[in-house]
Chain A
């Protein structure tokens, strides 16, 4: 549970949403004030409002500064040190190493770089699969439970939402039992004559199995072009081998637990779509698919952006499931940057390295969110209206 809360906080931090809740409030006051005193001196008014505004937000600014901005800056400083966590990093005897911690992650051939590259690869596949799946599933569920004619809507909504309110640690532990080699899932599979893998002990990459099945490359002994070239300490084959079977199980778990939350967000947005819009569309004689494509989805665009962004951030920071379900095992295929950062700090007493990994992750998330924002921007005439 605590881990989950931490993650939620982090999610807020990196989008820059903490500022946002205030924004509507501030514009709101301006609007009302303007309406009330249209003839008074605008400029003086605004200045006074500004002062009051700052006064009102100052407690929050102070709290954010003290507990968010300051720790981030401290961590940034630590990422430039060789710090073992047992001395004062803010005194003269701190061992300042400049960008060395970042260099070992990117340019120096060694264990650190290999582990980091492995973690990035694992997490990239995790994000690529989890985000679309959970968003699609959440949207589907929301559309289903939003139907006015559906019976027992309340019960269904509760059921779909239930996994989200369960502790991720508890769910992970249950999954560990379900996906044992002789667990419930494999028993079910054996009824239809499929011999399931030993899920959490299987480091084979799914893509590499497909490549092997097609006869392109032998997964046990990769050779040729894919094995000869490498990037950041991992061979092309290792980059391309895809999420391991163990990782796929974690993906399944993540999709199952988070889709409920996002379903709720989609549902709220769906209920916000004016009925008139759907009715007029119906008058135009559209069928259901066209309604979804040309009316519902465009109306959901801001929420879609929100869900995708939240999903992207939380999937790049996946930690608790990994911590419970294997800590990188089997074969480092469930290692993620967030867990690597933790283990660099607490297991290897190299907090500088851990902080550096965290900042690389932050930069990565910021870039991807910016890209997503650009990709989901509103094109054409309605440019003025921003999310």
Chain B
């Protein structure tokens, strides 16, 4: 049985002042191998907590995570992470960063170099191989981060707002790249984002999470990711279904934010 299954996941922790936070409550999700899931939600809805649990950095208070038939207990090379930024190793060159995973495993140098060369070709950074990562622009750094993650050939790729810090133009290019990589490699991807458009464009499936307690509010199946693999993303945005979907989700998140604000005012 392949794929990722999340069963009744709950996360509750105590604060020093005696209160407790229900970061996640009864989150269940089935993800088939090769699916691309995007996760949206207002801040505080537990989406990063969810990702950290899947990555194995946090242990849930209850519930079960099963990937390809075995339970997730901690971080592992089968689940790669792409962070927003600043997670590259600035003391290593681009080549060394991309080759980090294979090096840790002790992959023979020839195989490793081959993988690195191939991936740098894919992300278009072959000419920047020997550069220090801090010499690259923000977009290029995220390409390195993608390549580094892929070099390990993980089953699942977890992305925590990987394009959040990029400017609008670079972001569009990177969105196409993510789609291309997804199609070419067939990886299962969970993508957390703040941008409704990005979630719609990239997510084959999309879940909107709600806060207090963190839970899945609504789930969608979307056609745009498949369309975007071959077409210009700006064309995809003209799809008749795209606008209404965006409005619907924006309103949904807007209402949640309002509720949080209102609740705060009542409390005060």
The reply to whether chain A is a binding partner of chain B is no
- Chain A interface (Cβ < 8 Å from any Cβ of B): none
Where the two chains meet, the residues of B that have a C-beta atom closer than 8 Å to any C-beta of A are: none
